[in-house]
């Protein structure tokens, strides 16, 4: 924890100052370029966003040395980053979004990696503002309010000039044992297959995504994240502390045109892949790998290291010039202390948001008498 605290301050200062500069440039091009050419703006913005996201990927790759083993067939691996795709993933840890960024960076589409995320993130300085400029779709977790937001967001992607990934965490919240128990009780009450390793998917957003994206997004990437049983669960705080871990990711590609045409059919398809995902994770628990697919290492490119070094040099140079320009006084000391305090608070807020998992069960919780005895006989084999 002490190491994490020491790292948060310089990395936070680097991320905050460089991020504010990126936000300024994003706003500049949004005002001057986007009215003339939306496609040109999107291409410029993708490069700007990548310069910011690579700082976080540096933490993942070079500071914490988190390893990702990718289980995927060769054909899908070749197509990644070359086509629009809808990503459907289980929500295992508080850095699943970052694992997605890492895979997108390796595939060459980090700047066009998008997601459906909660609306409150939009107001976070730097990261939230950058997501807004990058056209993430922000939701309030209320279907009556989100229905039109989703429709507009999906249609806005129709003319996107680069291959994009749109990530959807249909479970709606990160997996925990308490939430699993609630999902199991709900499944028993509604006669659904009872999960062991995933939560029950919320299908309204997924159905809307398939219906609106079907005409211009060719593929769905069914992603399953698993943590080997001899490895610790990766978290943001562990990452700041430089503590390594290993993650297994399985990706199966489905043609979106093969999905059913009706809403009920799409909804059932989503539930079916989560039943399959649950069984795959159960097998992974015993085998400690996804043995039915070839394992690929994703490497550790030096691009994020190069970007952090360049940003660090710019920041150090700017700091030296600042102290040359201003006179040493209590006012200067107070100003610097205030900046550092803002950095610490900002990073703490970001960490808390990454760990925040306030979410309701799929429907109102149903009390089941002797639920443990019922679950014992109805869990998925």
* Domains parsed from the chain with CATH numbers: 2-303+354-378 (3.40.1130)
Task: Tell me if residue 219 falls in helix, strand or coil.
Answer: strand
Helix (H) or strand (E) holding 249: strand 246-255
DSSP-assigned beta bridge partners for residue 115? 167
Distance CA 268, CA 80 (A): 26
Distance CA 229, CA 354 (A): 23
Distance CA 2, CA 183 (A): 37
Measured CA angle at 285 (ends 284, 287), to 5 deg: 60
What residues have CB less than 8 Å from 202, skipping those under 6 apart? 170, 171, 172, 362
CB 41 within 8 A of CB 125: no
Distance CA 210, CA 171 (A): 16
Task: Tell me if residue 20 falls in helix, strand or coil.
Answer: helix
Task: Tell me if residue 168 falls in helix, strand or coil.
Answer: strand
- What global pTM score does this model have? 0.86
Measured CA angle at 189 (ends 186, 195), to 5 deg: 50
Task: Tell me if residue 68 falls in helix, strand or coil.
Answer: strand
Distance CA 175, CA 357 (A): 9
Any idea which residue has 């966003």 for tokens? 49
pLDDT in single tens digits along all 381 residues of the chain: 444 555 667 777 888 889 989 999 999 999 999 999 999 999 999 999 999 999 999 999 999 999 999 999 999 999 999 999 999 999 988 889 899 999 999 999 999 999 999 888 888 888 899 999 999 999 988 888 899 999 999 999 999 999 999 999 999 888 888 999 999 999 999 999 999 999 999 999 999 999 999 999 999 999 999 999 888 988 888 888 888 999 999 999 999 999 999 999 999 999 999 999 999 999 999 999 998 788 998 999 999 999 999 998 998 888 787 777 776 666 666 666 676 666 666 666 666 655 544 444 444 434 344 444 444 444 444
Q: What digits encode the pLDDT tens for the residues 112-171?
A: 999 999 888 888 888 899 999 999 999 988 888 899 999 999 999 999 999 999 999 999
- Best CA proximity match to 138, nearest among 116, 159, 157: 116
Distance CA 213, CA 165 (A): 12
């Amino acid at each position: 924890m002490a190491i994490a605290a020491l790292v948060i301050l310089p990395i936070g200062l680097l991320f905050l100052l460089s991020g504010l500069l990126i936000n300024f440039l994003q706003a500049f091009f949004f005002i001057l370029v986007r009215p003339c050419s939306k496609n040109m703006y999107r291409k410029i913005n993708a490069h700007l966003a990548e310069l910011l996201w690579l700082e976080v990927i540096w933490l993942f790759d070079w500071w914490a040395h988190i390893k990702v083993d990718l289980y995927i067939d060769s054909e899908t691996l070749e197509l990644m980053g070359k086509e629009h795709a809808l990503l459907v993933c289980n929500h295992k840890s508080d850095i699943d979004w970052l694992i997605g960024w890492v895979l997108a960076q390796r595939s060459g589409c980090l700047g066009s990696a998008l997601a459906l995320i909660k609306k409150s993130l939009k107001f976070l300085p730097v990261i939230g503002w950058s997501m807004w400029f990058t056209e993430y779709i922000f939701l309030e977790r209320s279907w009556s309010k989100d229905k039109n937001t989703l429709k507009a967001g999906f249609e806005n992607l129709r003319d996107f000039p680069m291959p994009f990934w749109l990530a959807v965490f249909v479970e709606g919240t990160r997996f925990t044992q308490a939430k699993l128990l609630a999902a199991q009780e709900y499944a028993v009450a509604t006669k659904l297959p009872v999960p062991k390793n995933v939560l029950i998917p919320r299908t309204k957003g997924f159905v809307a995504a398939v219906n609106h994206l079907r005409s211009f997004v060719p593929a769905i990437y069914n992603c399953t994240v698993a943590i080997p049983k001899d490895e610790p669960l990766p978290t943001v705080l562990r990452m700041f502390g430089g503590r390594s871990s290993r993650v297994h990711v399985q990706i199966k590609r489905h043609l979106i045109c093969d999905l059913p045409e009706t809403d009920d059919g799409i909804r059932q398809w989503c539930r079916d892949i989560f039943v399959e995902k649950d069984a795959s994770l159960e097998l992974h628990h015993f085998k400690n790998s996804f043995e039915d697919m070839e394992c690929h290492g994703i490497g550790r490119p030096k691009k994020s290291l190069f970007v952090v070094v360049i940003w660090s040099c710019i920041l150090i140079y700017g700091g030296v010039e600042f102290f040359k320009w201003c006179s040493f006084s209590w006012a200067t000391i107070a100003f610097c202390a205030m900046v550092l305090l803002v950095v610490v608070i900002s990073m703490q807020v970001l960490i808390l948001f990454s760990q925040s998992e306030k979410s309701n069960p799929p429907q109102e919780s149903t009390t089941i008498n002797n639920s443990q005895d019922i679950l014992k006989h109805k869990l998925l084999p």
